[in-house]
Amino acid sequence: MPLVESRFSPPVFLRNGHVQTILAAILPRKSTVRYTRERLELPDGDFLDLDWSRQSNSRLIIFCHGLEGSANNSDIRGVVTAANAAGFDALAWNFRGCSGEPNRLPRFYHSGDMGDLGAVIAHAGATYSQIALVGLSLGGNMILKYLGTQVPHPAIMAAVAVSAPIDLASSARALDQRPGNRLYLGRFMKGLKSKIVAKALTFPDLISTTGLEDIRSFATFDDRYTARMHGFRDAEDYWSQSSARQFLHSITVPTLLITAQNDPFLTTDSFPFLEAKSHAHFFFEAPKSGGHLGFLDARGAWLERRLLEFLSPHLQKIPQRAG
């Protein structure tokens, strides 16, 4: 304990990891979300755009998106809709530069950055006394590192991470080297390169685009840009310091990690069976299928049902807040 035996059982035609990954990304999700945007100013002069879906509930779920995502991703909108229907307010925050407007500083976001997450939690914690965290992919690694290295805000009651690359080096190499991942790698590189081009136009003395178009791997991109822009020595240093797996033993709130065994982005280094076996608070569920952020079954988005099933018992439902 607490290894969790998964009940996720998709139809035969949905058991392939790539099928799950791609269909989940392109199929429309049921969403009735109408966000209210708030800009959170940060001490370093930058900002974060927060997208709220409030229904005067007493409980809040904070959602963290994945690499090159945003609060408007279909998977985020799907889980926000499900959260509202289950009696939760929702906050889907956009990482720096992901809200549709460039952030102000030369840097943007990275997998191990807990400062911005901490600022969002502190801001929400001024209003809500019960908060859950949900992180998808990169956002999952981020919340797991936060829970394993920080004293969590007292309002944090529970958390769920999904398809989290908790060993960043092996995940980067899986995306770089597996032939079946070329489609995903190309899409990620396109988005990341466009951000570098925009940064270089704003900060030409700090950021160069020379050779940018020739970059074809996370190893090269993270070594040249992500690491250097965020104070790391190189890609290996960035991956080593930012990977959440090494911090799982210190988690003190009920936390579930869901990772499909056929996730094309991950290797066995992101499957913490040993950590979960001896942990009182960290739960690991590894269904045989599901792909990367897929988890579609005959009823639709299983993930939306599963994360609320785990979180609801840990956040007490109390009378609605006034207004």
> Looking at residue 249, what is its pLDDT?
96
* Bridge partners for 52 per DSSP: 36, 91
pLDDT interval class at 30 (50, 70, 90): confident
Give tens-digit pLDDT for 150-186.
999 999 999 999 999 999 999 999 999 999 999 999 9
Which residues are designated catalytic? 137, 263, 292
- To the nearest 10 degrees (0 to 180), the angle between helices 182-202 and 168-177 is 110
pLDDT in the model for residue 27: 87
What DSSP letter does each residue of 182-193 carry, written as one string? HHHHHHHHHHHH
Residue 48's H or E segment, with its range, is strand 47-53
In tens, the pLDDT along 86-124 reads: 999 999 999 999 999 999 999 999 999 999 999 999 999
Confidence tier at 2 by pLDDT (50, 70, 90) = confident
The architecture of the domain spanning 3-167+245-314 is 3-Layer(aba) Sandwich (3.40)
> Which pLDDT does position 41 carry in this prediction?
98
Torsion of CA 191, 196, 201, 206, to 10 degrees: 170
pLDDT category of residue 29 using cuts at 50, 70 and 90: confident
Residue 322 pLDDT exceeds 50: no
| pLDDT-derived band at 319, boundaries 50, 70, 90 | low
Mean pLDDT check: name the lowest of 5-9, 26-30, 147-151, 178-182: 26-30
Whole-number Å distance between alpha carbons of 131 and 203: 38
Residue 83, beta-bridge partner list = none
Closest CA to 232 of 92, 159, 224: 224
Phi, psi at 283, each rounded to 5°: -110, 140
State percent of the chain over pLDDT 90.
Answer: 93
Residue 320 pLDDT exceeds 70? no
Length of the chain: 323
Domain ranges of the chain: 3-167+245-314, 169-242
- The string over 21-51, giving b where at least 16 C-beta atoms fall within 10 Å of a residue's C-beta and e elsewhere, is bbebbeeebebebebeeeebeeeeebbbbbb
Least confident of 4-8, 28-32, 218-222: 28-32
Alpha carbons within 13 angstroms on the beta-carbon side of residue 146 total: 31
pLDDT > 60? residue 289: yes
Structure-token pair, residue 196: 């570098």
Predicted confidence at residue 316, as pLDDT, reads 82
- The pLDDT of residue 318 is 66
Tell me the C-alpha distance between 303 and 68, whole Å: 21
Mean residue pLDDT across the chain: 95
Q: Is the pLDDT score of 1 beyond 50? A: no
DSSP-derived letter for residue 167 is S
Task: Please give the order of strands across the beta sheet that includes 3-4.
Answer: 3-4, 282-285, 255-258, 156-162, 131-136, 60-64, 89-93, 47-53, 36-41
pLDDT at 31: 82
Query: What residues have CB less than 8 Å from 297, skipping those under 6 apart?
Result: 8, 9, 10, 11, 14
